[in-house]
Structures are given as C-alpha cells and as structure tokens.
Amino acid sequence: MSKSKRKVEPFTNKFGQVIEPGDTVACVTQGYSHSVHSYTGIYVGFVEREQWRKLKQFAQVEAKSRWDDNMSIRTLQNNLIFKLDM
C-alpha cells in the first residue's frame, strides 16, 4: 500500500524546464509491449516514492482517457513530461 501524498509544487525536468501546477504539458509513455503513446494534459503536482532505497519524484498529470472524455490522474516519471508553451 502506497503512503505517498501529492505535493502541489513546481519541478524541473531533465531539460531544465520549470513546470508549475496548472501548466499544459505533453507526456510520453511506454506500454507493456513497448508501444509508445503521447498525450497532452495539465500538471497537478507530484508524489515521492522510494525505489531501490532512493526517493524519486513522479509527476501527476490530469488527462483525458483514450476511450472516452473522462479525465483521470496519471502518474509518470518526470523526465517524460515536457512543458507546452501555448
């Protein structure tokens, strides 16, 4: 059971972009069969989890489902999220 809580704070991705809560972002994900998907969403914060005895940050993005118009929160590694300047 995860005990992580969302922190509504900005973060910096590996390209140096500072992403603030509420910013529109592009996300890239990889499926179980190594298929690649991309979508846009709104950055809402991040959670910190321990992996291999190291604390890592995982961004949370609110995005539409591919199957319907329902919005859902997706948790992703920060280096897979890029700020869109619109």
pLDDT at 52 over 90: no
pLDDT classification of 3: cutoffs 50, 70, 90: low
Q: pLDDT value at position 78?
A: 60
Mean pLDDT of the chain: 81
**What pLDDT does 22 receive?**
92
Average pLDDT on 34-55 reads 82
DSSP string over the chain = ------B---EE-TT--EE-TT-EEEEEEE-TTS-EEEEEEEEEEEEEEEETTEEEEEEEEEEE-SSSS-EEEEEEEGGGEEE---
In the chain, what are the domains? 11-83 (2.30.30)
Q: pTM to 2 decimals?
A: 0.76
